[in-house]
Structure 1
Amino acid sequence: MRMELQRIVDRVAARVKRPALIEDRRQRVVVYSEHSGVLDGVRRSSILRRHTTPEVIAWAREIGIMDAREPVRTPACPELDLLPRVCVPIRHQDLLLGFVWFIDENTGMTDEDISAVAEAMPDLSLALYRENLLGELASQREAEATRTLLVESPEARREAVRSLLTDGVVTSDGQVTALVAQLVVAEDEMLDDTARIALEHALVATRHWVGSRETLHLVRHDHGVLLLCGGRNTGRLAAQDAAAHLDQALRGAIRGLASVARTVLGIGDARPRLYDSVLSYQEAFQAARVGVQLPALGPVVPWPELGIYRLLSGMDARHLDVARVHPGLGRLLGDEAHQVLLETLETYLDLAGNAHATAERLRLHRTTLYYRLQRVELLAEADLKDGNERLCLHLALKLGRLTGQYQPGG
């Protein structure tokens, strides 16, 4: 089918004497003709990366190409290094399949040129429909099997593993590590289709970097999943390398998207078999959730390094109440005047009650440190000499961070 599409696009390009490029409805490059003449940054990037950037996708959709049923002349956009174009929608029985793009610089396309393109539309739409159908069936089978690995019953997961191995989607049933990519939306924003497309582009780019047959990916409602499959790519260092690449790819993909404030990646522990992907995924998902709540942890959050947050992140929301852990500390959290006391207490407890180390870390005189700790004891009705009290106070502070009730400045 791809060869048929290539023949058609070459014929159309020769007829109108200008290069043509075909994208599917998600604006991924399918085929393109030989290029001569003016070439802008968007065409060059699309050919090299095999997909259009999220910024260009957003720009094109604002112009209305998704609803177009006739050719659309699009203006130049110097900010995106994009020249004027003619976009011809490709439809099959009114179903949008994709677009044919022509750069329309200097000698613009005439109505006769556009009519020549329209004459080729029946053949082009049928060929692209067949191409899309085959590609969608394959990708849907892979996506469904990956989804089954992450949520379904043991029997269904075993069948999903058999399907992935039989179809040659992955090379072996070896060790697996899950990464979860969470896009943190800006205030009063929602995760839109453009952001999800950016997320999928980053996941696919990382799959190509790692090895397409050693990875699986899935875009869910509010996050993306990357599974590293096969022993040599799933150790801790390999997972961190993949996470670093995915983090970089995400940053590039969301650049210019006002709806996304930042990204967080969670890494689960490796598991011995593909069947156990769900366990690594659950850990990666929880790690990403903690990273969303605690920006100080950085953009990549490995599950094994979360410490007490491994326990707290799995607690029922009804139990995430600081006052239940330590009522006295719960009262202090509600007053910003006590913030410095809480930060001093947390540092003291993080350093195992070492007053000397705490004073150095906070650059305090020892007398000031003792005064603050005594104030905490008085206001929270606590005894720092009691090990159980110190445990409850420390746990309450970490719980406060996770729930947003306690937000230290450092």
Structure 2
Amino acid sequence: MYAEHLAAEEKESGTRELLLALIDPSPAERSAAQQRLLAGGLPPDAAHAQVTVVQPAPSQEPPAQVEVAMRGALEGFRHTRSAQGVMSVTAERAVLLQLADRPMSRSELKEQATEIIEALGTFLDASVAPVLGIGGGQSGVAGARASYEQALVAARAARRMPHLKGIGDWEELGEFAVLLQLPERSLNETLLPGPLRALLAAPGGNRLEDTLRCFLEHAGSIPRTAEALQIHRTSLYYRLRQIQEITGLDLDSGGDRLVLHLGLRIRELLAPRGDAAV
């Protein structure tokens, strides 16, 4: 039994090293790993690759306990009806690579992610606050690195955006997928465009910010914006004139709208969040 245990550990170690090589920044390392996999490595190559990343927040929990909990939460997804996979788990991060003959559906991935987060909530203290990032589906094992990088961005979104409830999906991030690739030190108040800062500092700034956000989210439609805000169109026109006067921007200009919309998105990322950044 001990010999079998050692053999299993050696096999797991080999597949873990293969996974880490497949997502390594070095093209040479990735190429060598792909050759190993094609030569009969585990898991077998397939047409589609999908990476999921789990990251706990720093806490007082013993690292070994965090690692065991993450391993247990992910173990059931190494081999499913639709995919074969391999994982690498440390106390700081768990990575699951799944390979399948068909793309895994977003609903399937979301269900999987929810199960993982719920399992971790059962075994770990709330202070660990793990987040999970789902990368985009890629073609074959050669795309594992790209899916991994996307999963890291999605996990960062889950940490910064509480409404995601701990699960970020690259395919649903939209413009946040671009903003969240900025260095952590760059995500601060200085990123807010000057016109938006002027609006926020003006009397009634919060109300005007809400009006602007609603207007932009409804693609500049006056009827839909007025309905959403439950105000008369005359009141909406008045607020929009105020916004233009304060910001010095033209809401009929696509470029000016983009400046303000990106500013509002950045403001969302700067909202209060968990203790740790991803």
TM range (shorter): 0.7 to 0.9
CA distance in 1, matches of 2:101, 2:119: 29
> Is residue 224 of structure 1 aligned with residue 94 of structure 2?
yes
1:198-347 alignment runs, 5 A limit: 198-210=69-81, 214-220=84-90, 222-232=92-102, 235-237=103-105, 240-255=107-122, 257-260=124-127, 262-317=129-184, 319-321=186-188, 323-324=190-191, 326-333=193-200, 338-347=205-214
Change (3 A) 1:249 1:378: same
Q: Percent identity?
A: 28
Q: 1:172 to 1:192 in 2, by over 3 A?
A: same
Q: Which residue of 2 aligns with 1:403?
A: 270
CA–CA distance in structure 2, aligned partners of residues 333 and 196 of structure 1: 44
Report deviation, 1:134: 2.6
Are the aligned partners of 2:136 and 2:147 in contact in 1 as well (CA < 8 Å)? Answer: yes
Q: Distance in 2 between matches of 1:264 and 1:305?
A: 16
> CA deviation digits over 1:241-263, x for unaligned, max 9?
14412321330332263344655
TM-score, normalization by structure 1: 0.58
> CA offset at residue 318 of structure 1?
5.3
Q: Describe the SS at the equivalent of 1:385.
A: coil
Q: Confirm or deny that 1:144 pairs with 2:17.
A: yes
Map residues 31-42 of structure 1 onto 2, 5 A cutoff: none
Aligned to 2:276: none
The CA distance in 1 between the partners of 2:144 and 2:46, in whole Å, is 11
CA contact (8 A) 2:69 2:124 kept: no
Confirm or deny that 1:357 pairs with 2:224: yes
Q: Which residue of 1 aligns with 2:47?
A: 174
- Aligned residue pairs total 272
Counterparts of 2:32 and 2:94 in 1: how far apart (Å)? 23
Looking at structure 1, the residues matched to 70 and 77 of structure 2 have their Cα atoms a distance apart, in angstroms, of: 11
Structure 1 residue runs of 5 or longer lacking an equivalent are 2-126
Q: Offset at 1:264?
A: 3.7
Is the 1:269–1:280 Cα contact (8 Å) retained in structure 2? yes
Q: Note the alpha carbon deviations across 1:83-113, whole angstroms, 9 max, x for none.
A: xxxxxxxxxxxxxxxxxxxxxxxxxxxxxxx
Cα pair 2:113 2:167 within 8 Å, conserved: no
Output the CA distance in 2 between the equivalents of 1:345 and 1:144.
50
- Matches of 2:130 and 2:232 in 1, distance apart? 39
- Considering fraction of residues, name the structure with more strand: 1
Between structure 1 and structure 2, the one with the greater Rg is 1
Q: Please say if 1:158 is aligned against 2:158.
A: no
Uncovered stretches (5+) of structure 2, i.e. residues with no partner: 274-278
1:387 aligns with 2:254: yes
Q: Structure 2 length normalisation: TM-score?
A: 0.82
